[in-house]
Amino acid sequence: MKRIVVLTTGGTIAMRAHDQASGAIPSLAAADLLKGLPREVAETRIEEFSNLPSAHFTVEQIWNLSRRIAALVADDAVDGVVVTHGTDTLEESAYLCDLTVDSAKPVVFTGAMRTASEVGYDGFANLATALQVAESAAARGLGTLVVFNDEIHAARWVTKTHTTALDTFQSPGAGPIGRVDYDGVEITRQPLAREYIPADRLEPNVFLLKLAVGMTAELLEHLVVSGARGIVLETLGGGRVPPWWLATIERAIKNGIPMVISSRVGAGRTVDRYGYSGAHRDLVRLGCWFAHGLNGQKARIKLMAAIGAGEAARYF
């Protein structure tokens, strides 16, 4: 039987509401999460990293989490790691591990959408299936995975798509890479070769701006003069901005601030298609970098890690 470490960080999977009026709060200890699991799932050791809602995590904390995971998978006595995590920022922590943990051993993130005091609590089921994936030989070498609602997703593409639904984690434009069913773990396709960034730290002063119709560039101008070390723009469509943003984007790049272009759409790459002012080719001309299909929050994680590696341009 494989030896799996369950690393708990908090989130809904570890919450219950003591009464309707007060709302759910972190309540379950790390050991409580194993009580509802079949004993034969895996040989598990549990370790509590934190017990926080994922909305409370800082950049320093997610970096420390990735370093703890890296240390665990470097241990010959550990065959894989399952991380229980709040769903609000799970995709960012998982993608950070995908980028910065260099190991073929399975690293699997999971959580819950319902608290332990709600009917249909999904925490035990998600944890059980995540453990199955972590102990499966088929999961080796796939990078960091997210297992939710019996589906297996690559950390690079998965995102939270619904505020309350149990199947909230989807991979738009890519789909799951496998699933867990009665016969065990089925991997239906292999992700492309994953990217590794040997970061020594994360740069915290990287910001994400989302564009909307008619927005002025005032917020971008503020970031340029206030010490931003990197900026990700979730642009319109396939990589377009209002023409009145171009001067500020150019000033940011001339000041040495990397500008990474993502799309607010949610799926698909930014593409060179139009010739009007503010289109993709203008952003290329100014020296912007491109997220190549990553959503804004993941492009930010990648830029933070790339700057932390000391050679950011190499990774875009």
Strands 169-170, 206-210: parallel, antiparallel or unpaired by DSSP? unpaired
C-beta of residue 156 within 8 angstroms of C-beta of residue 146: no
Whether the Cβ atoms of residue 282 and residue 251 lie closer than 8 Å to each other = no
Q: Dihedral of CA 116/24/170/96: which sign?
A: negative
For the chain, the first-to-last Cα distance in angstroms comes to 41
**Where does residue 145 rank: exposed (0-12), middle (13-18), buried (19+ CB within 10 A)?**
buried
Clarify whether 235 is annotated catalytic.
no
Task: Quote the CA–CA distance of 237 and 280 in Å, as a whole number.
Answer: 10
Phi, psi of 133 (to 5 degrees): -65, -45
Positive or negative torsion for Cα 65, 82, 11, 263: positive
Contact 144, 62 (CB under 8 A): no
- Of 8, 9, 12, 89, which one is the catalytic site residue? 12
Strand order in the sheet with 43-48: 43-48, 3-8, 80-84, 107-110, 144-148, 151-154, 178-181, 184-187
Is residue 133 within 8 A of residue 152, CB to CB? The reply is: yes
Catalytic residue annotation? 12
